[in-house]
A and B are shown apart, each in its own frame.
Chain A
C-alpha cells in the first residue's frame, strides 16, 4: 500500500508533489515560510543592531580621532559624565512631558469620537487623526518652523490678541523659556506634542471601542454617577490603551534628532548627540553607547507597560 502511494506521487507534476510533501510535513512548510523573513530580520536587522552594540565597547582616541578595536567600558562610564548625563536627563524629561501632554489632549478626542460620535462623525474623526499622523514628518516640522517664527501666525495672533506681554512672561520662565518661541523649550515641546499626538489617540480610541456600552449602563444601573463610572469602570479598562499609545510617544521622542536641531534651544538631545558623534566627530563607540540609553529606557518602559496589558491594546 505504502509503496503504491509513493509510486503514484512520482508520476505527478512537481507542484503537486511539492504540495503533498508540505501537507505531510507541516513543519517543513512553516520552515520554508519563515526562512526569508527570519534571515532578513535575524541576520540583516538584528545583526546590524549587535554590530552597533559591539562597537560601543571599542576605544576612541580623542587625539588621533581614530577608533581602535581595544575593548573598553569607558564609553559607558562617560555616559555618566555631567554633560552627557544632562543630555540623557533633558531628553527623558521631554519624553515624559510629551507623553503626559499627548495623553491629556488625546483622551478627550478619542473619548468623544467613540462615545458620542455618530458613524459618519467617527469616520471623519478617524481620517482627521490619520491624515496628520501620516503626513510627512519633515513637512509637519517645517510647518512648525514657519508657524513659530517671529513673522509666523502664532506671533501674529498673540500680538493681535494683545497677549504679547503674557508671552514674554512665559518665555522668561527658566526651564521652558527662551528668546523666542522657536528657540524655547516650550516651542520644542509643542512641536513634539503635535507630531506624536495621533500615535496616542488611535490606541486609546481602539481601547475605548472595545469597552462594551452595556458595562457603562450596568454601572449606571448600579447607582454610579457618570464621574464614578468613568473613574472606576471606564478608566481601568482603557488604561492599557493609554499605555500602548505612550509607548510610541515616549520612544519616538526619546530617539528624535531632527526636531531638537530645528526648534528649541541649543542643548543636545540623545538623538542629536548620537548623530553628531557618529557624523561630524566620528566617535562611533560613544554614539553606539548613547544608543544603548534609549534602548534600555524603552525596554524598561515596555516591561512596565506589559504588566498593564498594553500589548493586547496595541
Chain B
C-alpha cells in the first residue's frame, strides 16, 4: 500500500472482508485491477464475486479493509458519487420510462441540459444499434435488446470502470456468444476498465485479460486465462476452470510416490495399450472399470472408476469406431504423461 496512489490501478482491494452476521461473503480479498483491463470475477453462486462487484459500485460497504477507486478511498462514498457504472444482471431498466429516458437518466440527474442529454442518449442507442427503439418501453423489448439498453445506459455516463454483473446470464446460447464478441470489441474500442462477474468459466476464459477465481468468499487464484487453465494452483481452480480430474493426495501417493495432489485434464488421459513401454518412467498407468459412457457428438466422455476415485477421459469419435469404444463395466488400462500433470497446493479439504 503505497502512499502515492498508483495511477495505473483502477480498483484496488486491500484485505477486504464483508460479513453478514456470521456469514463471510467476502473474506480477506486483495486484488488490483489495472486501468483498461478486462477483469473477470469467476466462481460458483455464493462465492462472493457479486458482493465484490457491489462493493465497488457502492451498494455495500466493506466490513473491514479498504477499497480504492483510482487511488481514492471509496468507503463512505455513495454510488452516485463514484466514477463507475453497472450493467445489472436482470438489466434493472426503469419500467415506467421509455428506452430513451432510461438511457438519458444518468445525464439528466447530473443536471445536464435536456437537449444535450437526449442527443447523447440517442448516440449511445445508435452505438448499440437500437436507435429506432427509443420510444418503446423496456417491457416491449427482447432480452437481447434490453441487455443493449442497459449497456448504453451505463456507457452514456462515460464511466472509467464498467461493472458487469452476469450481464449475459439470461440470454440463450447463440445470443450470448454474439454478445460476448460485441462486449470484447466494445472494450477494445473504449479502452476503459471492465470488471465482469460470471459463473461461466468458458465466458471468463474467452473474454478476459485476467480472471480471479472465487470460492467461499476467498480468491483462489488470479491469473491470465491460459495460466488458469494450464497451471491451476488449487484443486478448486483445476476443477472449476475446464473439466479436470483432481487426484487426491492418497491416490497421488500410490501413483507418483508423492503426497501432493495433482490434476490431469480428461483430454490428456489415453487408453493404455500393449505397445506402451513399461520402462518409460514419465508415464503414469492405472487400471479401472468403465462406469458410464456419454456420447457428445465429436467426442465421447468415458467415466472410469479407479480405486475410490472417478476419472473422466475424452475419446474422439472420429478416430474410434463404435466397436472400438469401451463398453460399460469393461476393464481398461489408462495412462498419461507426467508432464501433463499439474501439481496442486496441499489443502486440508
A and B directly contacting (CB within 8 A): yes
Contact between chains at B78 and A23 (CB < 8 Å) = yes
Contact between chains at A5 and B78 (CB < 8 Å) = no
B73 CB contact (under 8 Å) in A1, A19, A20, A24: A1
For A20, the chain B residues whose CB sits under 8 A away are: 78, 81
Report A5-21 CB contacts with B as 1/0, cut-off 8 Å: 10000000000000110
For B81, the chain A residues whose CB sits under 8 A away are: 20
For A24, the chain B residues whose CB sits under 8 A away are: 76, 78
Q: How far is the CB of A76 from chain B (nearest CB, A)?
A: 45
Closest B residue to A2 by CB, please name it.
B73
Q: How far is the CB of A18 from chain B (nearest CB, A)?
A: 12
For B256, the chain A residues whose CB sits under 8 A away are: none
Expressed in whole angstroms, the Cα–Cα distance for A9 and B336 within the complex equals 64
B296 interface contact, C-beta 8 A:
no
Q: How many residues of A contact B (CB 8 A)?
A: 7
Inter-chain contact total with CB atoms closer than 8 Å? 12
Please provide the chain A residues from 1 to 54 with a CB less than 8 Å away from any CB of chain B in the complex: 1-2, 5, 19-20, 23-24
B253 interface contact, C-beta 8 A:
no
Contact between chains at B78 and A1 (CB < 8 Å) = no
Q: How far is the CB of B117 from chain A (nearest CB, A)?
A: 19
For B76, the chain A residues whose CB sits under 8 A away are: 5, 24
Determine the main DSSP class of A at the interface with B: helix
Q: How far is the CB of A27 from chain B (nearest CB, A)?
A: 12
For A1, the chain B residues whose CB sits under 8 A away are: 72-73
Expressed in whole angstroms, the Cα–Cα distance for A5 and B76 within the complex equals 9
B185 interface contact, C-beta 8 A:
no
Q: How large is the interface on B (under 10, 10 to 19, 20 to 34, 35 or more residues)?
A: under 10
For B309, the chain A residues whose CB sits under 8 A away are: none
Q: How far is the CB of B69 from chain A (nearest CB, A)?
A: 11
Expressed in whole angstroms, the Cα–Cα distance for A19 and B81 within the complex equals 11
Report B64-103 CB contacts with A as 1/0, cut-off 8 Å: 0000000011001110010000000000000000000000
Closest B residue to A4 by CB, please name it.
B72
Q: How far is the CB of B314 from chain A (nearest CB, A)?
A: 41
Q: How far is the CB of A29 from chain B (nearest CB, A)?
A: 12
Closest B residue to A8 by CB, please name it.
B81
Q: How far is the CB of B65 from chain A (nearest CB, A)?
A: 15
Report B126-153 CB contacts with A as 1/0, cut-off 8 Å: 0000000000000000000000000000
For A19, the chain B residues whose CB sits under 8 A away are: 78
Closest A residue to B79 by CB, please name it.
A23
Please provide the chain A residues from 259 to 285 with a CB less than 8 Å away from any CB of chain B in the complex: none
For B78, the chain A residues whose CB sits under 8 A away are: 19-20, 23-24
Expressed in whole angstroms, the Cα–Cα distance for A163 and B67 within the complex equals 86
For A23, the chain B residues whose CB sits under 8 A away are: 78
For B77, the chain A residues whose CB sits under 8 A away are: 5
For A5, the chain B residues whose CB sits under 8 A away are: 73, 76-77
Closest B residue to A20 by CB, please name it.
B78
For B73, the chain A residues whose CB sits under 8 A away are: 1-2, 5
Expressed in whole angstroms, the Cα–Cα distance for A1 and B73 within the complex equals 7
Expressed in whole angstroms, the Cα–Cα distance for A23 and B74 within the complex equals 13
Expressed in whole angstroms, the Cα–Cα distance for A1 and B67 within the complex equals 12
Expressed in whole angstroms, the Cα–Cα distance for A20 and B58 within the complex equals 12
Report B208-220 CB contacts with A as 1/0, cut-off 8 Å: 0000000000000
Q: How far is the CB of B9 from chain A (nearest CB, A)?
A: 14
Closest A residue to B81 by CB, please name it.
A20
Expressed in whole angstroms, the Cα–Cα distance for A34 and B76 within the complex equals 24
Closest A residue to B61 by CB, please name it.
A24
Closest A residue to B71 by CB, please name it.
A1
Closest A residue to B73 by CB, please name it.
A1
Q: What are 12 A-B interface contacts by the 8 Å CB criterion?
A: A1-B72, A1-B73, A2-B73, A5-B73, A5-B76, A5-B77, A19-B78, A20-B78, A20-B81, A23-B78, A24-B76, A24-B78
